[in-house]
Amino acid sequence: MLSSLMAAVGSEKTLVPDEMRLTADGKELVYQLLWRSVLILILIFAIFPVWMMFTTSFKTRTEVLQLGLDILPTDPYVQNYFLMFQRFPLVDYYVNSLIISSVTTVLSLLIGGLAAYSLSRYEFPGKEKFEMGALATQMIPGVLILIPMFLLFIFMDQSLNIPMKDTYHGMIFLYTTFTVPFTIWMLRGYFDAIPTALEEAARIDGCTRTQALFRVVMPLAAPGLAATGMFVFLLAFNEVLFASVLATDSVTPFSIGIQNFQQQDQTMWGQMMAASTLAAVPLLAIFVVFQRQIVSGLTSGSVKQ
Amino acid sequence: MLLSAYQRVRRRLPAVHIPYVSSLPASQRFGLKLIAPALAMMLLVHGIPVILGFVMSFYEFPSLRYTDWFRPETFVGLAHFMKVFQKDTIYGAQFWNSLKVTVLYTVGSVIGTYVLGLVTALTLDKQFRGKLVARTVILLPYVTPVVVTLLTWRMMFRSDTGVINALLRQAGLIEGSLFWLLGPNSLYAIIIANVWRNFPYAAIMLYAGLQSIPEQLYEAAEIDGAGRWGKLRYVTLPQLKPVSAVILLLLILWTFINFPVPYILLGGSPSESGNVLMLLIYSFGFKQSAYGIGSALSAMLFLFSMTIAYVYYKRVVASSYDGGTI
């Protein structure tokens, strides 16, 4: 039906009298209006939940429960931002998350960076297999690892006396491994783009391979490292599945702790959204600053191939 | 500084000789050395648990004394798998329902994400003022911490006082309240939240793809008399095929094994229509301590997603890069 309609419109049949048909300028205008309004709708869709988070953080309990579509907080209730700290140890959650995520980022960049550099420059037996393996790890459902991992952690706790569950090093070890394949994938593109002539020159000047890597290549790849690091940080910061099982007591990260605002009988939406806003703002600020690198980092991996 | 410290330590250590590796040329050995830490970690955290997971799916575990798991009592062979596949057992009924829900969730999310991403990319490709601002806003869903945004969606989806129901009521589309997070609508709720979360990724990738289409192709199409629609149909979309293949592959996998969206929106024990496989396995493993069944299910999920990935990779990604037709 649609195609017949299109055909009727396209075939210049006299469905519409000549004087009512749009001129070329008119068509252009309609077209401009159309795509601009589509873009505006998409922008609203993209920003709406973030905006709701922001406005709700300034609402009292009763205001949250009232029906209302007020776009701007008319009478901001700032107390949410203070009360939330009294209810749960939010600062601890946040610090836990920062420790776990930043150490993960550093380790993942180091280990993944070495491997990515190796893949980009050197040939060695089993290279293809390693590449495929790294890609395949991205397709393993988390739960498949989670159940054995949970039991392994308990085994190490009880039989070997190595605490793993609810520790920083346990979570950092897990997250580093989960993010390394991603780091390899992203950094490889950056290393490929750095000309090999520079390292060769450094080698001729008497650098060892290791020195050439750390003194010449790594500084040149700094923008790529920054963008990749930001993603690794976000991945670790956002992780829920493993954290909900393996990091519950003393190392509860923010992503798990914030869900405590949701109680059986009531939810402190205002305070929860205030905590959310506080958590999101630094990350969004980093994103705005590094936007260019992040966007090019996101796209370089797959579009270029 | 760290580097020189490393070298000082390195000099003191005795040289290690691994039979096969030592015979390789120095550059190959260096390459291997660089991937060694990554390889070791991946074998430890991905390799061992995956194998263990498969092994566990053949055993019955003492559910109350789970600390004794490494002394599994009974080898049950394929019994867990049989239980899961039979539709008339309680496990089987849940599994088949979950599989259906997961497929619907994946298909709905991927189509929604891709179409919205494509439309966004096409509009971003035009010339207008404030493009950088628009791009930043579009990327917001992707860079805001996922837990935070999902909790916000949970708030907006509330039945009585949620803003989504309020908007729908204002628009006259519904009367009263819809239940989004309970009952049959929970599938739509997780699809909408997932599309919102992922469409910026699709949009930015497709946008980069659009920029790499040579201008000459459009000029040639214009000479051949193609209008706007013609150019989109015969130049843009075919040229986007390779990048679309990558995006679709990633989106399918990400959605199929996605956990945070259903878990945070629907909680650990969702309604039937939102009970995706990941949640089902999670509840078997950590709510009912049925590790055997849980492992069997996740082993199947693993094989399933690997098969999808492999077939798709062979059929679509590989062939489109070789210039073949999809």
Tell me the average pLDDT across A107-133.
86
pLDDT tens readout for residues B193-202: 999 999 998 8
Residue A31 pLDDT > 80: yes
Q: Is the ipTM of this complex over 0.85?
A: no
Residues in chain A with CB shorter than 8 Å from the CB of B34 are 114-115, 117-118, 122
- Among candidate residues B199, B179, B198, the one with its CA nearest the CA of residue B189: B179
B 242-281 near A (Cβ less than 8 A) = 242-243, 246-247, 253, 256-257, 259-260, 263-264, 278, 281
Element (H, E) at B74: strand B74-75
- The parts of chain B modelled with pLDDT lower than 70 are 1-3, 10, 13-19, 61-73, 289, 313, 315-326
Q: Which domains does chain B show, CATH number per domain?
A: 90-321 (1.10.3720.10)
- Bridge partner list, B169: none
CATH architecture of A83-303: Orthogonal Bundle (1.10)
Scanning B224-290, the segments in alpha helix (DSSP H) are: 228-231, 237-239, 241-256, 260-266, 277-286
Kindly state whether B226 is in contact with chain A, defined as any CB-CB distance less than 8 angstroms. Answer: no
- The ranges assigned to domains in chain A are 18-80, 83-303
pTM of the model: 0.81
CA distance A67 to chain B (A): 6
Rg of the Cα trace of chain A?
Answer: 26
CB pair distance less than 8 Å for B56 and A119: no
CB pair distance less than 8 Å for B119 and A42: yes
Tell me the average pLDDT across A23-33.
84
Kindly state whether B317 is in contact with chain A, defined as any CB-CB distance less than 8 angstroms. Answer: no
Kindly state whether B326 is in contact with chain A, defined as any CB-CB distance less than 8 angstroms. Answer: no
Kindly state whether B166 is in contact with chain A, defined as any CB-CB distance less than 8 angstroms. Answer: yes
CB pair distance less than 8 Å for A240 and B259: yes
* Contacts for B158 with CB less than 8 Å, ≥ 6 apart: B165, B180, B181
pLDDT tens readout for residues A239-282: 888 888 888 778 888 888 888 777 766 777 888 888 888 888 88
Q: What Å distances lie between residue A57 and A73, A74, A123, A158, A269, CA to CA?
A: 9, 12, 54, 44, 8
For the record, the structure tokens of B9 come out as: 């330590």
Best A303, A304, A305 member to test B by mutation, with max B CBs in 10 Å, is A303
Per-residue pLDDT at A303: 40
Per-residue pLDDT at B63: 57
Kindly state whether B58 is in contact with chain A, defined as any CB-CB distance less than 8 angstroms. Answer: no
Rg of the Cα trace of chain B?
Answer: 25
Q: Which residue has the tokens 């390195």?
A: B10
Per-residue pLDDT at B42: 85
Best A9, A58, A101, A147 member to test B by mutation, with max B CBs in 10 Å, is A147
The chain-wide mean pLDDT, for chain A, equals 80
Per-residue pLDDT at A279: 85
* Contacts for B230 with CB less than 8 Å, ≥ 6 apart: B221
